[in-house]
Structure 1
């Protein structure tokens, strides 16, 4: 624990920011709201039977929003690489490892979700519309490949939901139990 504290103090001595830059804070909350909407829409629309009049519009909205989130995530990764992140408060090694693993899995899911969705849509006759503009297909009409990519999309969605729950639980633990100010780094 002392090594962790001295590492954090050393980072602070190098003028590391105590909070995330405003651009990352805004991107975090916009992306979070969009992802919650995406997951809710995705879970709702897969339960709709064929022939429901608004299902196609809902699917196209889901695809467009998903690709928009993908672009925002890439932007966030770029800003994070340039600006860095504030150091974590002192915590046990296993907590630091859990936080790091959760972050990696969250970013992996934020990239894998739109990629698997886009690939799944590339193997059907409809393709993907991005806010009305038809994007190039990377495949052909193939039921087996479409099923593979959409199954992977669904698996990643459930892993993503679990990681979001873990991320929120960790933030609440730091705020309500540890009271270490970790959540304040990401609040506007």
Structure 2
């Protein structure tokens, strides 16, 4: 029996063979931490846009949202580096279209997790407030310009809805593998 593992995959005691190779613990922690922050950030973002302008609480929520976004950006960069260093376990056997859908969804999620914070930061760079990262004012890349601010925030908003759809697709795929295929795919990412 071949006991070699895919780089980045770890096995635990008795049920390891039933579940197959797992992601490295560092990638599991980063996955769930980023997922929780993104879900919270999307919730805060959707809530705050409906609040009236000038409400002091709205400014607090906006700064909180920006800090979460920049945190996700940094964590995603760390996750990319860790994933390149430790690798990932191979996907279980599946149809070619499912494998392609999984890869495309994953790439688009990574793109979204990078584009969203960048467009939020750039949009904030073209207003008089700027971006505070947990209270620290970050450098602005622009000047007060309503057109550019609207452009970047427009991309940010479209990306938010695309991310919501991608997250729903990602969760649906994981549940399909868990409940219908029963191939142990979800167990690879569980703590």
TM-score (norm 1): 0.92
Q: Verify: 1:15 aligned to 2:27, yes or no.
A: no
Partner of residue 134, structure 1: 137
Distance 1:83 1:57 in 2: 38
Q: Please point out which of 53, 65, 69 is paired with 2:68.
A: 65
Moved over 6 A (4+): none
Bigger share in helix: 1
Q: Secondary structure at the match of 1:54?
A: helix
Alignment of 1:13-92 (within 5 A): 15-16=5-6, 17=9, 18-92=21-95
Tell me by how many angstroms 1:52 deviates.
Answer: 1.7
Shift of 1:13: 7.1
Q: Which residue of 1 aligns with 2:101?
A: 98
Deviation, 1:14, is: 5.2
Instruction: Name the structure 1 match of 2:114.
Output: 111
- Give the corresponding residue for 1:154: 157
Once residues 174 and 65 of structure 1 are traced to their aligned partners in structure 2, the CA distance between those partners, rounded to angstroms, is 30
The TM-score, its normalising length taken from structure 2, stands at 0.91
Q: Report the alpha carbon displacement of residue 84 of structure 1 after superposing the two structures with TM.
A: 0.5
Say how many residue pairs are matched: 177
Equivalent-residue separation in structure 1 for 2:124 and 2:5 (angstroms): 46
Unmatched segments (≥5 aa) in structure 1: 1-11
